[in-house]
Amino acid sequence: MNIEELREFCLRLPAVTEDIKWEEHLAFSVGGKIFCLTNLDPPLKVVLKVPEDQFDDLTESDEIIQASHFAHRQWMAVTDESRFSRGEWEQYIIQSYTLVKSKLTKKVREGIENRQAGKVTENNHVEEK
């Protein structure tokens, strides 16, 4: 997966925003919290959140390391874009998104779910599709 494919996939997930962090990283967030981070310049390095019980197995590979500046045993940095198939990349991105979203406040999660179910008006009322 290259940076454009990564960007397109992340932006298809509900309520995702993107922005530039620290002048050199493209960040994808849900509810204001990062779930995927990548460098803008090659080679591609992608940071994703993983369950702690998967972390040790994943980081046994030379292409996956502990992400610096992120919580220990929860964030992996994939340093080789060919490490995963397209399907595996999508699985890990969705998993990261889901893990981060699950830690958002109930109010924020409900707002995301309301936007998914219908259209939120300017007055925060939901209109059914």
Cα-to-chain-centroid distance, residue 34 = 6
Q: What would be the CATH architecture of the domain defined by 3-128?
A: Alpha-Beta Complex (3.90)
Q: Is 111 exposed, middle or buried (0-12, 13-18, 19+ CB in 10 A)?
A: middle
Q: pLDDT tens track of the chain, all 129 residues?
A: 899 999 999 999 999 999 999 889 999 999 999 999 999 988 899 999 999 999 999 999 899 999 988 888 899 999 999 999 999 999 999 999 999 999 999 999 988 888 777 654 444 444 444
For position 72, what pLDDT does the model report? 84
This prediction has a pTM of: 0.86
For position 127, what pLDDT does the model report? 46
For position 122, what pLDDT does the model report? 44
For position 73, what pLDDT does the model report? 84
Tell me the domain boundaries of the chain: 3-128
> Token match 């979203």: residue?
101
